[in-house]
Amino acid sequence: MNWFSPFRSMLRRATSMKRADASMSDPGSRFLLVGLGNPGKEHRLNRHNVGFMAIDHLASEHGINLGRVQNKAIVGDGRVGGKSVILVKPQTYMNRSGNAVGPLASYYRIAPEDVLVIYDDIDLPPGTIRLREKGGSGGHNGMKSIIQHLGNDFPRLRLGVGRPSGKMSPAAYVLQDFGNDEQQLVQTMLDNVLRAVESFLEEGVDLAMSRHNGSVLDKSTE
């Protein structure tokens, strides 16, 4: 038996609680960055999960460990763009995302204007990103759920996945994986998301919108 294992576990829990308590002690100094998707390996590469992919990319690039479960979400805290952030992947399934996001925002005392939600949008061409300061749900069920908890006045970053061709329903389309021919486009879009989020945190929503809204193809010609 390893006599140190219980003590290591206690130390990890204490460190995690201390970090959360420290974050709560200074309200207004941190942001909740939320990516929407569905839990489970079968959904990992779905178009509907591009919000999760964006959070994973942010975590990887900024050395943030998404290793904690809290309020029905996978979370990790760290720094992005010089700001303290909490990365969030709700595990409630898409249509109930607000059941995770609302309680987390309340627990950490984060105002709606400091909650950035990243999600897929079939009404934007593939590879396009669109940051907005506030707005409606646009028919997105995950956003409908969050709006029920936070209202409409929170920023959101929409990631274009396009519409299906032929007679396929949009619901079936977003639950399909990205095709092999889309992989490079998706990766480039996620890189653009990384820069847009950093800009949002460092410079504010207005400058971030003016600099980063658009498509991958637009950015490649600049």
State the catalytic residues: 48
Report the sign of the C-alpha dihedral through residues 88, 91, 97, 101, in that order: negative
Place of tokens 């669109």: 130
User: How far is C-alpha 175 from the chain's CA centre?
Assistant: 18
Q: What angle do CA 179, 181, 183 make, to 5 degrees?
A: 75
User: Following CA atoms 153, 37, 94, 96 in sequence, which dihedral angle do they give, to the nearest 10 degrees?
Assistant: -60
